[in-house]
Structure 1
Amino acid sequence: MAHHPDHDRGGATGPARARTAPQESAMTGTRTDPGDRGRDRRVPRPRWSFTGAAVRRRATGLAATAISLVTTAVVLILAVHIVFVTFEANTANDLVRWFGERATDLAWEFKDVFQPANPKAEVAVNYGLAALVYLVAGRVLVGIARRLAR
């Protein structure tokens, strides 16, 4: 019977073909077997990449996250101020004063858009309007940044 090297896996009748153990790629977790001949040897791309498109996607994704965080913080400051005014928080308190000063700065020209007779309603409506504008503008900017990331 003719001896074929692929049929012999280290038995006593012939030389064993040197075989290496499958290796796992550190970057992708894909297993490749260097002993398999005739197979496609392309290595999958790593999960992380330094191509221009990947860097742009990462940067726009980070920008979208930053925009979202900033607009959320602004809306929270305005909302806390509205709550403090509505429930008549102590204006001598440093925390209440800090929120009031930040909210006044952030409300821009919205502070006197509506002028109802009740001062609490005036703050709630005008500062609420400013918060709504920030929320909508932030969501629009985040949407644009996420679309650019694709």
Structure 2
Amino acid sequence: MADDPDLTRVESRGGRRAAGERRSLTSGAAAARRRAVGVAATAVSAVTTVVVLILAVHIFFVAFEANTANDLVRWFGDRAGDLGWQFKDVFQPENPKAEVAVNYGLAALVYLVIGRVVTSLIRRLA
């Protein structure tokens, strides 16, 4: 049977087809991995952007003396207070507006840098 040329052609075509199927499965897995890495990097970037925006809005509200009795202003202040954890009193200038701007601005900068580094590391996995 092995000497039969028709059978050899069929076996060889089947072998090529199997290798092609393996290649498409491998490329499919690679594409799925690239998509997953892209989604993870986008998620980290989006979360970082939201955190930085919350801190920036809080700085804006403080700088322009927004009404602290307003629920929206209070919400941003509470979230910024949670996100600013160790940065709230790094610098203590006499002007309270400057204190908020500098300390929460520093927190925003640190979040931004860390978010960019993590996003870059995630994208390198692809």
Q: Would you say same fold, with TM above 0.5?
A: yes
- Report the counterpart of residue 91 of structure 1 in structure 2: 68
- Correspondence 1:148 to 2:125: yes
1:50 Cα deviation from its structure 2 partner: 6.8
Partner SS for 2:91: coil
* Highest RCO, 1 vs 2 (Cα 8 Å, sep ≥ 6): 2
- Normalised TM-score (structure 2): 0.78
Cα deviation, 1:29-88, whole Å, max 9, x if unaligned, reads xxxxxxxxxxxxx9xx98xx8733222211111000000000000000000000000000
- Correspondence 1:54 to 2:31: yes
- Normalised TM-score (structure 1): 0.66
2:97 to 120, 126, 129: 120
Identical residues among aligned pairs (%): 76
Partner SS for 2:86: helix
- Report the counterpart of residue 54 of structure 2 in structure 1: 77
Alignment-mate amino acid for residue 102 of structure 1: R
Alignment-mate amino acid for residue 79 of structure 1: A
Can you give the 5+ residue segments of structure 1 that lack an aligned partner in the other structure?
Answer: 1-41
Partner SS for 2:48: helix
After TM superposition, where is structure 1 displaced by more than 3 Å over at least 4 residues in a row?
none
Can you give the 5+ residue segments of structure 2 that lack an aligned partner in the other structure?
Answer: 1-19
Coordinate RMSD, CA, aligned:
2.3
Counterpart Cα distance in 2 of 1:86 and 1:107 = 17
Counterpart Cα distance in 2 of 1:50 and 1:86 = 53
2:84 to 107, 111, 126: 107
- Report the counterpart of residue 34 of structure 1 in structure 2: none
Counterpart Cα distance in 2 of 1:115 and 1:138 = 26
Count of aligned pairs: 107
Counterpart Cα distance in 2 of 1:50 and 1:119 = 57
Give 1 or 2 for the bigger CA radius of gyration. 1
Cα deviation, 1:109-140, whole Å, max 9, x if unaligned, reads 00000000110000000000000000000111
- Report the counterpart of residue 16 of structure 1 in structure 2: none
Larger helix proportion of the pair: 2
